Chains A and B, each alone.
Chain A
Amino acid sequence: MLETFLFGVFPYAALVIMIGGVIWRYTTNQFSYSSVSSQFLENRQLFWGSAPWHYGIILILLGHLVGVLFPDTIQAINGVPVRLYILEGTALAMSLALLVGLVVLITRRVISPRVRVTTSVMDGVLLFVLLFQVVTGIMTAIFYRWGSAWFIQTATPYLRSVFTLSPNIEYMTALPLLSKLHAINFFVLLALFPFSRLVHMLSVPLAYLWRPYQVVMWYRRRQIQQ
């Protein structure tokens, strides 16, 4: 019963909250959209936290995404044992790096007086949830070997079933507790997304790569008299 709720209903609730929340916040209070960087207040410790955390989490998230979208690719890679070892080894190294980064970031929030005063309750909650996510993820990877292989047999079909609106929770109920926690916490993160600083992920300024350097705006479009 509980599992039906957690894997069959809660994901939809989380998705609705996330999408609705983002639209609501973007349309009513775009001013609050920011990475709310604290580098200006403290920048020595930040480097050791922010850089490994961000680069690590981007790669790990991409890895998960590839597993869901292109499971065949992962399967093909894992077909040769050496490649499986390399894939798993890299993933583990990246996740340890991002764990270190996250711990540095949390410590910095606590010990730097200037950063502490700019920390909101939501920042605290978010850091805790993220830490929980990272720890359960890494423990799953260590205790249940070759996650990249069984991920595409369990999480991939499950997530696909969620997105096709016919959730098949059997894939999840069969998993060990650690992985279940990791999955549920993921949906918690989705639900927190619109109300936390996570929204800055939606502002990744890729358009900058193609933009001319200068931005000039006309108050009224000029009327060129030919």
Chain B
Amino acid sequence: MDVRAQISMVFHLDKCIGCHTCSLACKNVWTSREGAEYMWWNNVETKPGTGYPTLWEDQTKYRGGWEVKGNILRPKLGRRLGLLSNIFFNPFLPTMDDYYEPWTYKYGQLFNAPQADDQPTARAVSKVTGKFLDVEAGPNWDDDMSGSSIYARNDINLSALTDAEREALFRTEQMVFFYVPRICNHCLNPGCVAVCPSGAIYKRAEDGVVVVSQEKCRGWRFCVSGCPYKKTYYNWKTGKSEKCMLCYPRIETGQPSSCFHACVGRIRYKGLLLYDAERIESVAKTPDAGLVEAQRSLILDPNDERVVAAARKNGIGDDWISVARKSPVYKFVKEWGIALPLHAEFRTLPMLFYVPPVLPVLASNTNGSYDLGNRDFFGKVEDSRVPMKYMAHLFSAGNEEIVKKALKKLMAVRAYQQAKSVGNLSVGQASAQLAEAGCSTDEAEAIFRMTALPRFEDRFVLPPYHREEAIETTTETIKQKGETGLGFTRPPKRGP
């Protein structure tokens, strides 16, 4: 057992309101620079939809993640020599058009335009070339566009559905969508690291944050293809790759990452997990149907004496171990089993987990009238508005049982609360539902509290880095605060 610690995350999708506050919090801190304008280290996309960059989930197009050939786990981009032979031209690289060309407006026109019959307008100009631009795509162009023929209908996860199911999904009266906010997953088996020829991307052993060394990066840009989530970005101005670094300057000083802190829906949780690094490769080779379970088994119980002993042996301090015991992520993923990795079949072992959204059919439209039917209050998981096959394609590598189990538990918790606080369901009914979902009343209570009433300290349980003490010995804390950041030593310049 080779125990390591990982800062990991849970996003509770039922709570996301799609406000994009998270994206802006990140943009303001990290990517409002030339060359990075198009990057959204945090983005929120609407599902069904094609996402950002367009069709990022389609690995026949970008070759991100891993594949198992024979019994060998290898990057989809190819083995080392094959990969290097593409170094002068990477056929699987997304280009700016797959994201969008960043733009601003000629605001000056509004004030300086000569007097004329028409109102002056501020036309869009490209932030790259400075020329007028007909804006055709933006970072969240598919926002709320369920049913649209360019976005929703091209979602590759729909391939799991029959034509009839697909049509049903997009019928106007039944239209459904939900939001999926995405950041780098700080994977245990990161695809970005594996394909970087310079060895510039690395995983920090102490906390699992994956970062790109700006000094060592040589702009070979394989990481952009190699990350199946498209969470490494190429800075076209500096010629270096950049990615989310989980706001490590913040977490090292005890603050949650910006997007977590800013989240309006309070959907985000952050905590420590202990995992067994020895088994990463064997777990990543598990056949699709067993992947989610296998990944869960990699996460170790911080209360297990043997785990604790092995952790101590690896230099993980008691303060970190006790933080791991209070981890909200551990509860969601391991204890309750209701948080699942996004696209586990990419085999990077992502460390960001999603609580899938419950989208029950509450009523139907029969002959123009609102018909509640004689179903149980929330109906059955199986007749959710989004077919289980689709959910399984996103959250459990195609294994429907796993999403179904999680959703059943979430529904049961709702029924239980409904019975308790509204009383339109009998306690007997609710208990039966809980029992069916394999959930005790204590657990239901705990899930409810962590979902609906968590305090700041419950959502973000961060380990002490003691970095501030180390800093104080060399620099004044106030001075250090001003200098904390990406660490550029000179302005990133390129071009005339």
Instruction: Report A's interface with B, CB cutoff 8 A.
Output: 29-31, 33-43, 46-47, 50-51, 53-55, 113-114, 116-121, 200, 203, 205, 207-209, 211, 213-219, 222-225
CA A77 – CA B200 in complex, angstroms? 42
In the complex, which residue of chain A has the Cβ closest to the Cβ of B234? A40
* Pick from B131, B196, B224, B238: contact of A34, CB under 8 Å: B238
The answer to whether B220 and A205 have CB atoms under 8 Å apart is yes
The answer to whether A119 and B496 have CB atoms under 8 Å apart is yes
CA A145 – CA B194 in complex, angstroms? 48
**Most chain A CB atoms below 10 A, which of B88, B96, B219, B312:** B88
Given A114-B129, A203-B198, A209-B84, A42 and B95 contact (CB-CB distance below 8 Å): yes
- How far is the CB of A23 from the nearest CB of chain B, in Å? 16
Given the complex, which residues of B lie within 8 Å of A42, measured CB to CB?
95
The answer to whether A218 and B205 have CB atoms under 8 Å apart is yes
The answer to whether B80 and A209 have CB atoms under 8 Å apart is yes
The answer to whether B128 and A114 have CB atoms under 8 Å apart is yes
The answer to whether B93 and A43 have CB atoms under 8 Å apart is yes
- How far is the CB of A222 from the nearest CB of chain B, in Å? 4
In the complex, which residue of chain A has the Cβ closest to the Cβ of B312? A225
Given the complex, which residues of A lie within 8 Å of B131, measured CB to CB?
113
Is B106 an interface residue when CB atoms closer than 8 A count as contact? Answer: no
What are 21 A-B contacts with C-beta separation under 8 Å? A31-B488, A34-B240, A37-B220, A37-B239, A39-B89, A41-B95, A43-B95, A117-B130, A118-B494, A205-B87, A205-B198, A208-B197, A208-B199, A215-B199, A215-B201, A217-B204, A219-B205, A222-B205, A222-B315, A223-B315, A224-B315
Main secondary structure of the interface of B (DSSP, over half): loop
Number of residues on chain B facing chain A (CB within 8 A): 58
CA A42 – CA B239 in complex, angstroms? 14
Interface residues of B in 70-115 (CB under 8 A from A): 75, 80-81, 83-84, 87-91, 93, 95-96
Given the complex, which residues of A lie within 8 Å of B217, measured CB to CB?
34
Given the complex, which residues of A lie within 8 Å of B313, measured CB to CB?
224-225
Given the complex, which residues of A lie within 8 Å of B203, measured CB to CB?
214-217
Is B378 an interface residue when CB atoms closer than 8 A count as contact? Answer: no
Given the complex, which residues of A lie within 8 Å of B89, measured CB to CB?
39, 43, 46-47, 50-51
In the complex, which residue of chain A has the Cβ closest to the Cβ of B91? A47
**Most chain B CB atoms below 10 A, which of A40, A42, A55:** A40
The answer to whether B84 and A37 have CB atoms under 8 Å apart is no
Given the complex, which residues of B lie within 8 Å of A33, measured CB to CB?
215, 218
Is B189 an interface residue when CB atoms closer than 8 A count as contact? Answer: yes
Given A29-B490, A114-B96, A119-B495, A205 and B197 contact (CB-CB distance below 8 Å): yes
Given the complex, which residues of B lie within 8 Å of A54, measured CB to CB?
88
In the complex, which residue of chain A has the Cβ closest to the Cβ of B495? A118
Instruction: Report B's interface with A, CB cutoff 8 A.
Output: 75, 80-81, 83-84, 87-91, 93, 95-96, 128-131, 189-190, 193-194, 196-199, 201-206, 214-221, 224, 234, 236-240, 280, 312-315, 488-490, 492, 494-496
* Pick from A31, A205, A207, A219: contact of B204, CB under 8 Å: A219
* Pick from B87, B96, B206: contact of A41, CB under 8 Å: B96
Given the complex, which residues of B lie within 8 Å of A113, measured CB to CB?
129, 131
The answer to whether B206 and A218 have CB atoms under 8 Å apart is yes
- How far is the CB of B201 from the nearest CB of chain A, in Å? 7
- How far is the CB of B312 from the nearest CB of chain A, in Å? 8
* Pick from B81, B202, B219, B234: contact of A216, CB under 8 Å: B202
CA A54 – CA B218 in complex, angstroms? 17
Closest 4 CB pairs of A and B: A205-B197, A36-B239, A34-B239, A213-B194
Given the complex, which residues of A lie within 8 Å of B315, measured CB to CB?
222-224
Given the complex, which residues of A lie within 8 Å of B205, measured CB to CB?
216-219, 222
CA A55 – CA B88 in complex, angstroms? 9
Given the complex, which residues of A lie within 8 Å of B218, measured CB to CB?
33-35, 200, 203, 205
* Pick from A29, A53, A215, A222: contact of B202, CB under 8 Å: A215
- How far is the CB of B124 from the nearest CB of chain A, in Å? 15
CA A43 – CA B203 in complex, angstroms? 30
The answer to whether A30 and B215 have CB atoms under 8 Å apart is yes
The answer to whether B219 and A215 have CB atoms under 8 Å apart is no
Further 9 A-B residue pairs, CB within 8 A, beyond A203-B218, A205-B87, A215-B201: A31-B489, A34-B239, A36-B219, A36-B239, A39-B90, A43-B89, A213-B75, A217-B203, A225-B312
